[in-house]
Structures are given as C-alpha cells and as structure tokens.
Amino acid sequence: MFAANVRVLVVDDMQTMRSMLKGQLRTLGLKEFMEAENGEEALKILTAQATKNEPIQLILSDWNMPVMPGIELLKKVKSNANFKDVPFVMITAEGEVHQVKEAITAGVSNYIVKPFSADTLAEKLANVAKKLGGG
C-alpha cells in the first residue's frame, strides 16, 4: 500500500463522493488529501503543488465532470513531463468497454467502476502501489 504521507488529489464534482473517498483512504492509512471539483481545477493544484515542491503523488479522478472531464485530465497529466509519472486511478460510473480501453490507452494506472466497496478500492490501490515498487 502507499505510505501514509503520500499526497493524494481527489477529483470529483460531487462533494459527497470526495468525502466518501477520503474516508475510505483514511481507513487505508492515508492522511494527506487535496480536492478538486473538475479537471481544470486539478491541473491548477498539480502545478501549484509542484511549484511548492510538495508534489501530488496519487490522483483519484471521476470521469464525468463539468468544465474538464476526467479523461481529458488523464490525457493532460500523461502528456506533461512533470506529472506523467503520477499514478492516476479513474473512479467512475462509466464502465463500458470502449471507455475502459480509452483510459488504458491514455495511460490510466487502474480503473474502478462505481459502485465500489472499500475492499475494492484497497485492492486496486495496492496493485498500483505494487507496480510502483511499494509506493
């Protein structure tokens, strides 16, 4: 699993979902969170945190959001030399095959279809951490 001090950016236009995710992440031992309501806001936070030398180390993002959807955020993150190595997990109600394929092609680290249990989140994040060599 990720270390407790990993800085997580939770991106979802629904406040309830952001709160639920943060609660589940806390039970997994994570402590540092930042929140964004859409992709555009997320990019600003990513840039600001990098400037402060306190970079975001894990992104959990919804797909369907106003202003900038999660898939566009994913593509922008993966095409930016400063952020491309930040693990990006898509958490979305969009689970159709072509959408999963689009996210995989864009470089998503893992994909969680809503509704999901806390166990599923833990398992998927553990897989991402394992791929990174222990987070």
Partner 1 sequence: MSISIKNNPKYLQLICDSKSVTEADAKEAIMALKDIEEWRPLTVLDFSTADVAELAAFRTLTRILGTAAQNESTVAVVAKKPVRQIISENGLERLLPCYGSMDELVDQSGGGDPKKKALEFLNTTLEAVAKTIEVTLSVKVKAGKPSISTVKGMPEVDIGSVVGLIGTAFSGTLIMAYPQQTYLKIMSKMLGETFTSVSPAIRDGAAEILNMVLGQAKMSLNEKGYGIKQAIPTVVQGKDISIFSASNQPSVIVPFECELGMFFVELATTRQAAG
Among 1, 17, 28, 112, binds partner 1 (CB under 8 A): 17
Residue 14 lies near partner 1 (rule: CB under 8 A): yes
Residue closer to partner 1, measured from CB, 41 or 94: 94
As a whole number of Å, the CA-based R_g of the chain is 13
Which of 97, 100, 99, 75 lies closest to 88 in space, CA to CA? 75
Which of 76, 89, 67 lies closest to 21 in space, CA to CA? 89
**Per-residue string for binding with partner 1, 22-51, x by CB under 8 A?**
-x----------------------------
Query: Residue 72, SS3?
Result: helix
Q: Which among 19-27, 49-57, 74-82, 122-130 is the span making contact with partner 1, rule CB under 8 A?
A: 19-27
Which of 34, 46, 90, 38 lies closest to 68 in space, CA to CA? 38
**CB 55, min distance to partner 1, A:** 28
Among 116, 122, 126, 132, binds partner 1 (CB under 8 A): 116
**CB-count burial class (<10 Å; 0-12, 13-18, 19+) for 61:** buried
Residues that bind partner 1 (CB under 8 A): 14-17, 19-20, 23, 64, 66, 92-98, 101, 113-117
